[in-house]
Amino acid sequence: MQILHSMSSAGDTPKGIDRATVKRVWEFSIPYRSRVVGFLLLSIIGTGVGIIPSLVFGDIIDTAIPQGQQGDSSRLTLLGLIVVAAALVAAVVSLVERWISSRIGEGIIYDLRDKLFRHVQAMPLGFFTQTQTGSLISRLNNDVIGAQRAFTTFLSTVFGNVINLAITLVVMLTIEWRLTLASLVILPFFLIPSRRVGARMADITRESMSLNASMNTTMTERFNVSGAMLVKLFGRPNVEADDFSERAARVRDIGIRSALLARVFMTAMTLVGALGTAAIYWIGGQMAINGTITTGDLAALSLLVVRVYLPLTALSNARVDVTSALVSFERVFEILDMTNPITDSPNATALSNVSGRISFDGVRFTYPSADDSTIASLEDGAARKTPTRGPGKHMSSGITPVTTGPNYSGSFEEAEVLQGIDLDIEAGQLVAIVGPSGAGKSTLLNLVPRLYDVSAGAISIDGHDIREVTQESLRNSIGVVNQDPHMFHDTVGANLRYANPDATDEQLVAASKAARIFDVIDALPEGFDTVVGERGYRLSGGEKQRLAIARMLLKDPAIVILDEATSHLDTENEHLIQQALEEALAGRTSLVIAHRLSTITSADQIIVVDDGAVVERGTHEELRDLGGLYDSLYENLLRVDVTA
C-alpha cells in the first residue's frame, strides 16, 4: 500500500524530460539516418503486409464462402495462398527490421562509449580527484546501454506503431469512415495518462541510476586491494555490508515500485482498448443488422480495430519506456557537456628536439573549485566547503594531490597555492626542490606537464610557452616517477612497454638493469611475463619504484620529474639507485623532490619553497652558509639519517 501511495502522491512534481534532450538525441543519430530510413520503409511494408489477412478474411465471408457454396472454391484457395505469402513476407521483413535496428543500437553504444571514454580520458587531473570512479563506470556502462535502449525502443515501438496506426486507419476509413471515427473517441484516454506516468517513471529511473552508481562506487573502492585491506584492518566488513545492503534494498523497492506502476498503467490501457473494441463491435453489429455495412466488412473492421488499439496501447506504454530510457541520454550528455579547461590551443605546435631548459615566469596557481572540475552527481552529492587552509596543507608530496584532511573539500577558490614563482633551470641541470610539507613542491611540478594550468604567469620549455605546444608532445618529453607509482594489473613487460610500446626485449633488460630491478624480475616465476597484480601489489614498495624508474628510462625523456623516487628504498638499494640515476639522468633536466641527503647535496641547484613561494635558491654550500630555512631543514634531515 505504501508503494501505491507513493505512485499516486501528488506532492512531487515529476521532472520529465527536456525537449532539448530529445532534439539532441535525434541529432546524434545523423550517422544512422540512412538505416533509419530503411527501417521506416520496412515498417511500412510490414504494416501493409500485416493488414492483408484482415482484408482477406472479410473477402472470404462476403465472396469466397458464397462462391464455395455454389461449388467454386478457387477464390478461397487463392485467398489462403495470399495469407501464407503475406506471413512469409512479414517474417522476412521482421528479421531484416531486427537486423537494422540492432545495427543502429549497437552502433550508438559504440559511438557513445568511444566519445565518453575519449572525453573523460582528456579531462584534467582535477576532474579525477573530485570524481567517484564507480559513478564514471556506471555512466560508461549502464547509462550508455540505457541510451541505446531509448533509441531502439523509439525506432521499433514508436515509429513502427505510428506507421501501423496510420496505415490501418487509412484502410479502415476506406471501408467505413463513421465506424473508424467512432473508434478514435477514446484516443484521449490513451494520451493523457501516458504523459504523467512517463514523467513519474523518469524520476524513478533517475533515482535508481543514482543508487546503482553509488553501489558501483562502493564496489570499486572496497574491492580493490587498498580498499579491501583498509576494511579488514579496521574490522568494518559488517558495517560496509550493512551500508551496501541498505542501498540495495532501496534499489529493490524502486524496482518494485517501477514494475507495479508500469503494470497498472498497461492494465488500464488494455482495459480502455477492450472497452473501445466492445463498443465498436456493438455499433458495427447494429450497422450490419441495418444493412449499412456487409458482414465481411464488419469482420475486417473488427480485426483492424484491434490493430488500432494495440498500437495506441503500445505507444502509450512506449512514451513511458522512452521517457525513462531518455534519462540515460540525459546523464551521458551531462558528462559530454563538461568543458575541458586544459586543451591544445588552436595554433599549438609540437615540441621537438627538446634540450630541457625550463622557465617559470611569475607563476601563480589556485586550485580550481569543485564546480569547475566536475559535476555534483559524480561526487555522490558530497558537500562542498571552502577550506580554511591552503590545499598544500592537505597534500602529500606525491605528484597526485591526496584529498584528505578535515578541511579538504576540493574547493580551493580562496587559497592561492603558488605565489609569483620565478625560476630559470638550465638544460641538463639536476634541481632539488625542498621545503616543509605542504609548501607547494608537488603542485609546482604538477604544472610542468600541464596536469593543471597556471592561474597567472607562464611556464616555458626551450622558450616555448607550454600552453602553446601540444599536450602529447609536451608529455612525451617528460618522464615522471612519483612516490607511489601506479602499475596496471598486467605483466611486468606490459607495464614497462606502456612507456614505449615498440621497446625490444633487449631494451627492457637494459632499462631494468639500469634501475637495479632486473635480478628481481629474473627471479619471478615467469620473468617479464609475470602479472604484477592490481596497482602492482605483488611487488614491494621499493621494487615497484625501481620498476617505475625502468619504465621512465624506456620513455627516454628530455625532462625527468622524480617525486620522492627513492623514498621506499633501504640504504643499500638507495645507493645503487643513485648510481643508476646519475648515469641515466646525465644530459637530462631533472626536477627532484627529495628528503634524502645524497640527492640534495649532489644537485646543481636547490630550490627552497615555503608557503607557495621560493624563499631560497643556490647550491648546497651556498644555502648552508645562509643559515636560513634550508640549513634548518638539512639539519633535521641529517639527524633523521643519523638516527636511521
Kindly state the cell numbers that stand for 148.
Answer: 541505446
Report the chain's mean pLDDT, rounded to a whole number.
76
What are the phi and psi torsion angles at 418 (to 5°)?
-120, 135
Q: What CATH topology corresponds to 19-336?
A: ABC transporter transmembrane region fold (1.20.1560)
Asked if 441 and 423 count as a contact pair (C-beta separation under 8 A), the reply is: no
CB neighbours (10 Å) of residue 90? 18
Instruction: Give the C-alpha separation, 500 to 507, whole Å.
Output: 10
The closest alpha carbon to 633, from 643, 616, 644, belongs to 616
What's the pLDDT tens digit per position in 549-560?
888 888 889 999
Q: Is the pLDDT of residue 405 over 80?
A: no
What's the pLDDT tens digit per position in 595-625?
667 678 888 899 999 988 999 999 888 888 8
Q: Is the pLDDT of residue 410 over 50?
A: no
Upper half-sphere CA count for residue 584 (Cβ side, 13 Å):
27
Kindly state the cell numbers that stand for 113.
Answer: 562509449
Q: Over range 283-298, report the average pLDDT.
A: 79
What are the phi and psi torsion angles at 363 (to 5°)?
-75, 125
Q: Over range 521-531, report the average pLDDT.
A: 86
Residue with cell 555522490: 380
Asked if 260 and 3 count as a contact pair (C-beta separation under 8 A), the reply is: yes
Question: Where along the chain do its domains lie?
Answer: 19-336
Residue 255, H or E segment? helix 237-289
Residue 464, H or E segment? strand 464-465
Task: Write down the pLDDT at residue 598.
Answer: 66
Residue 361, H or E segment? strand 358-366
Task: Calculate the CA 407 to chain-centre distance.
Answer: 29
Asked if 593 and 397 count as a contact pair (C-beta separation under 8 A), the reply is: yes
Q: With the C-alpha atoms ordered 229, 231, 234, 237, is the resulting torsion angle positive or negative?
A: negative
**Which pTM does this prediction carry?**
0.70
What are the phi and psi torsion angles at 602 (to 5°)?
-90, 0
Q: Is the pLDDT of residue 229 over 90?
A: no
Instruction: Give the C-alpha separation, 129 to 411, whole Å.
Output: 11
The closest alpha carbon to 419, from 609, 617, 629, belongs to 609
Task: Write down the pLDDT at residue 400.
Answer: 36
What's the pLDDT tens digit per position in 302-331?
777 777 777 776 666 666 667 666 777 778
Q: Over range 448-467, report the average pLDDT.
A: 92
